[in-house]
Amino acid sequence: MNKLRIVFLCHFSNQEVRANLELKKYTFRHWLSKIRGTKPFSYDDFAIWVSDFIEQFERHNECDFHIISPHRGMKHNKSAFNLRGINYHFYRCDGTYFYDFLCEHFGLEKKNDYSRNRKRIQDIIAYIKPDILLLCGAENPYYSLGALDVHNCPVYVILQTLLNTPQRIEMGVGDAYRRDKEIEIFRHAHFFTAGAPISKQKISKYNKDAKFLPCGFPTHRPIISLPTKRDFDFVFFSRIISKSKGIEDVFRAMHIVKGRYINVSINVIGMCNDEYKKKLDEIIRELQLGNNVIFSGYFDSIEEMYSNVVRADAVVVPGITAGLNSTVRESMLLGLPTICYETQVSKNINHDDICLLTAQMGNVDELGKLMILTLENPEYSKSVAIKGKEYAERVFSNETIVNRLIDNCRLIIEKKI
């Protein structure tokens, strides 16, 4: 029996794959960053959920998995290698400093619909000849547009972020180009994994033949012990700090908490561009939180980030536009009391027992009251955290999710759905 040949088109990076790639040192770019006083370019871990998918793929030797991903800084246009039975195919997605400058300021690659990247993806897929293509995320055209060139096998989209929602449009998450390309992919593919009801509604609007198969996203299991002594009352963390992640609401809730606990503290972890950081600094000044907010920055290592997250007694991650941000699941697995906004997903989690502390969407007063609750009733908060961890370990099982995904692929290929 021939193995099921699956291509997983995505974007991620971790230390292990970088060790197998010849990467540039970017000496000139580092020098320019130093002159400008900006953060130097670094190769860091991101999209950890993709690494978690792949870790589970390694357990399924009845399938032939091929991972296709862009990577910055590669010395060659393409690079392929095998790790523990998984075939990796990376392609270079950046160019010279001048070329990248043109792309950034004049939308050079957008004007060509990332034709260079698409050609590299096409060549790799033609070589593999897959039975099915899994696209992890439709919202990133620099790799997701490669799915539009696939016609000889089914295209199955695992939705990461839906850009075409009123909230995300209003908050400037993504741009018109990315939203248009997301719709193109919805029209091209026929199979989808999309958790939130609004995602299914939007996809069905553009593709009446769309079929939805339940699966979900793996959740990275942080193996971090909680320290006995904590340094902060609260922590907010995200790869990229933005309004859509709820950081501005967190600061306004902190102002409420400070009215009762003047020395309350919060550790803010994540990447933040200079322009938005200035806006946050202004909010902090207006709310007189200068002595209460600590920015720890971005950590290249996911383990280092988690080690800093657990320095707080409770997590506040009130995402505004997502059904359930990955930071919520990660916080539950860490065993910390987790405060977020209520969504349909969080309602389902809290259906049988309180596993998350949730405020009505956008209700900053309620958010502040929940933060005060964790300070004044630590035993209750601890019981919520324990139940949250038990729920996360039971429901967010990576093994279950990937088994379901592979079963879905078989159903699609065998035309049983």
| 8-17 confidence digits (pLDDT tens) | 999 999 999 9
28-37, 246-255, 282-291, 307-316: which range is least confident on average? 28-37
**How far is the C-alpha of 355 from the C-alpha of 127, rounded, in Å?**
47
Residue 227 resides in a domain: no
Confidence of residue 415 (pLDDT cuts 50, 70, 90): confident
Residue 224 resides in a domain: no
Residue 376 has pLDDT above 70, yes or no: yes
Mean of pLDDT over the chain: 90
Say which residue, 33 or 310, is predicted with more confidence: 310
What is the per-residue pLDDT across 63-87, written as a single tens digit (0 to 9) for each?
A: 999 999 999 999 999 999 999 999 9
Write the CA distances from 234 to 31, 178, 250, 310, 372, integer angstroms: 36, 34, 10, 9, 11
Question: Which pTM was predicted?
Answer: 0.74
The verdict on 338 and 366 lying in the same domain is yes
**How far is the C-alpha of 217 from the C-alpha of 282, rounded, in Å?**
36
Residue 1 has pLDDT above 60, yes or no: no
The verdict on 194 and 265 lying in the same domain is no
Sequence-distant (6+) residues with CB within 8 A of 292 are: 254, 258, 263, 264, 265, 266
Say which residue, 101 or 366, is predicted with more confidence: 366
Sequence-distant (6+) residues with CB within 8 A of 118 are: 145, 146, 148, 149
Q: What is the pLDDT of residue 416?
A: 79
Residue 223 resides in a domain: no
Residue 389 has pLDDT above 60, yes or no: yes
DSSP strands (E only) in 170-300: 191-193, 211-212, 232-240, 266-271, 293-297
The verdict on 360 and 404 lying in the same domain is no
Residue 304 has pLDDT above 70, yes or no: yes
Residue 30 has pLDDT above 70, yes or no: no
Question: What 3-state DSSP class applies to 212?
Answer: strand
Joined together, the tokens standing for residue 60 give: 């399924």
What's the CATH code of the domain at 80?
Answer: 3.40.50.2000
Q: What is the pLDDT of residue 39?
A: 66
- The distance in angstroms from the start CA to the end CA of the chain is 22
Confidence of residue 165 (pLDDT cuts 50, 70, 90): confident
Joined together, the tokens standing for residue 140 give: 């990133």
Residue 270 has pLDDT above 90, yes or no: yes
The owner of tokens 């939130």 is 196
- Looking at the chain, the whole-number percentage of residues with pLDDT higher than 70 is 96
Q: How many degrees, rounded to 5, is the angle at CA 23 between CA 21 and CA 25?
A: 155
Confidence of residue 170 (pLDDT cuts 50, 70, 90): confident
48-57, 123-132, 180-189: which range is least confident on average? 48-57
Amino acid making up residue 45: D
256-265, 285-294, 389-398, 402-411: which range is least confident on average? 389-398
Residue 97 has pLDDT above 70, yes or no: no
Residue 39 resides in a domain: yes
The verdict on 113 and 50 lying in the same domain is yes
Q: What is the pLDDT of residue 98?
A: 65
Residue 217 has pLDDT above 60, yes or no: yes
The verdict on 250 and 169 lying in the same domain is no
Number of separate domains in the chain: 2
The verdict on 67 and 213 lying in the same domain is yes
Please answer whether residues 188 and 181 qualify as being in contact, where contact means their C-beta atoms are separated by less than 8 angstroms: no
Parent domain of 322: 232-395
Residue 96 has pLDDT above 90, yes or no: no
